[in-house]
Structure 1
Amino acid sequence: MNDFLDRAWELIFAFLNNTVVFIDNLFSPLEILGPAAVIFLLAFLVVIATRIIARLYVTKRYIKLEKEYLHWQNIRKEALKHPVREKGKALAKNIDQGQLNRAYYDYFFEGLLKHFIVNVLPILLMVSYVTIVYSPANLLERFGKEWVFSLSFGSSSQLNVTSLLWFVICILLSFILFAILKKIFKKRYAKKKPA
C-alpha cells in the first residue's frame, strides 16, 4: 500500500510540476505587461475554467440524489395538501424524519464535494502557483520590485500590494466580470434567436 501511495504521489507531483512549467512558458511572454496584468489574466482564466468545469462535471450520483430529494420533497408537499390539516402535518413530519432529511443531506454533501472539486480546488492550485511564482523574491528578480504595485496615500502612507492580495482581488473582480459578460451574451443571444 505504501508503494502505491508513493507512486501516486510521484505521479501527482510530476503532473503539478509539468503544469507549472507549461503555465510559465505560456504566460512568460505576457510578463512585459507587468505582474498585475498577468495575475489578473490568470485569475480570469481560472474563473472561466471553473465555470466550464462546473457545467460539464456532473456525476450520476449527484443527479440521482437530486431526483431522490425532489421526489421526497414533492411527496411532503402533497402530504401537506391533505384535507385533514393535522393528519397532513403528521404525514409531512414522518416524511421529514424518515426519507427527506437523509435525501437532503446526501444531496447536500454530494453538492458540497462537487463544489470543492470544481471551484475551490482549481482556485487553490492557482493561488499556490501565484504565491510561488510571484513571491517577493521572484518579483524583485523579474521586475525590480518586491510588490505587484504600490499605492501611495499622501506623503507618508503607502500600501504595498502582494501577489496573493492582488490575486484575491482579481478573483472577485473576475467573478463579477464573468457574470456581467454572461448576462450581456444572454441578452444578445436572446435578441438574435428567432421567436
Structure 2
Amino acid sequence: MNDVMDRIWGFIEAFLNNAVVFLDTTLTPLEILGPGVVIFVLAFLVVIFTRIIAQFYVTQRSVTLEKEFRHWQGIREEAMKHPDREKGKALAKNVDQAELNKAYYDYFFEGMLKHFIVNVLPILLMVSYVTTVYTPQTLLQRFGERWIFSFSLGSSSQVNVSSMLWLVICFVLSFILVAVLKMVFKKRYAPKIFV
C-alpha cells in the first residue's frame, strides 16, 4: 500500500512541478508589467476557472443524492399535510429519523466536497504558487524591491504590501469583477439569446 501511495504522490509532485514550470514560462513576458499585474492576472484567471468548472462539474452521485433528498423532503411535506396534526408531526418525525436526515447529510457533504475540489483547491494551489515564486528575496532579485507595492501614509509610517496580501486583495477584486461582468452579460445579452 505504501508503494502505491508513493507512486501516486510521485505523479502528483511531477504534475505540480511541470505546472509551475509552465506557469513560469507563460508568465515571463507579463513580468515586464510588474509583479502586481502578474498576480492580479493569476487571481482573475483562477476565479474565472473556478466559476466555469463550478457550472459544469456535477457528479452523478450528487444528482442521485439531490433526487433522494427531494424525494424524502416531499414525503415529509405530505406527512405534515395529514388532517390530524399530531399524527402528521409524528409521521414527519419518523421520516426525518428514518431517511431524510441521512439523505440531507449525504447531499450536504457531497456539496461540500464539490466546493472544496472546485473552489478551494485551485485557490490554495495558486496561493502556494504565489507565495513560493514571489517571495521577498525573489522580488528583490527580479524587480529590485522586496514588496509588491510600497507607499507611505505620513512622515513616519510606510506600508509594504507583500505578495500574499496582494493576492488576497486580487482574489476579492476578481470575485467582485466576475460578479459585475456576469450581471452585465445577463443584462445585455441574455434577452437577445432567449428571444
- TM-score, length-normalised on structure 2? 0.97
1:132 aligns with 2:132: yes
1:173 aligns with 2:173: yes
Mapped partners of 1:14, 1:185: distance in 2? 39
Unaligned runs of 5+ in 2: none
Opposite residue 52 of structure 1, the aligned amino acid is I
Bigger CA drift: 105-114 or 48-57?
48-57
1:15 CA displacement: 0.5
Opposite residue 54 of structure 1, the aligned amino acid is A
1:37 aligns with 2:37: yes
Mapped partners of 2:25, 2:194: distance in 1? 44
**CA RMSD for the aligned pairs?**
1.0
Equivalent in the alignment of 1:145: 145
Mapped partners of 2:175, 2:8: distance in 1? 33
Q: Deviations over 1:31-75 (max 9, x none)?
A: 111111110110000001111111121110011001101111111
Opposite residue 158 of structure 1, the aligned amino acid is Q
1:162 CA displacement: 0.5
Query: How do residues 49-60 of structure 1 correspond to structure 2 at under 5 angstroms?
Result: 49-60=49-60
Opposite residue 146 of structure 1, the aligned amino acid is R
Secondary structure of the 1:193 match is helix
Q: Deviations over 1:138-190 (max 9, x none)?
A: 00001101100013111111111110111011111111111110111111122
Bigger CA drift: 79-88 or 112-121?
79-88
1:28 CA displacement: 0.9
Equivalent in the alignment of 1:12: 12
1:2 CA displacement: 2.0
Opposite residue 169 of structure 1, the aligned amino acid is I
Distance change >3 Å, CA 55–CA 193, structure 1 → 2: closer
Equivalent in the alignment of 2:111: 111
Equivalent in the alignment of 1:96: 96
Q: Percent identity?
A: 71
Number of residue equivalences: 195
Mapped partners of 1:16, 1:119: distance in 2? 18
Unaligned runs of 5+ in 1: none
Opposite residue 178 of structure 2, the aligned amino acid is F
Equivalent in the alignment of 1:3: 3
1:194 CA displacement: 5.2
Bigger CA drift: 185-194 or 13-22?
185-194
Mapped partners of 1:77, 1:177: distance in 2? 40
1:104 CA displacement: 0.3
Bigger CA drift: 2-11 or 91-100?
2-11
Mapped partners of 1:15, 1:49: distance in 2? 18
Secondary structure of the 1:4 match is helix
Q: Which runs of 4+ in 1 moved over 6 A?
A: none
Mapped partners of 2:25, 2:139: distance in 1? 17
Secondary structure of the 1:159 match is strand
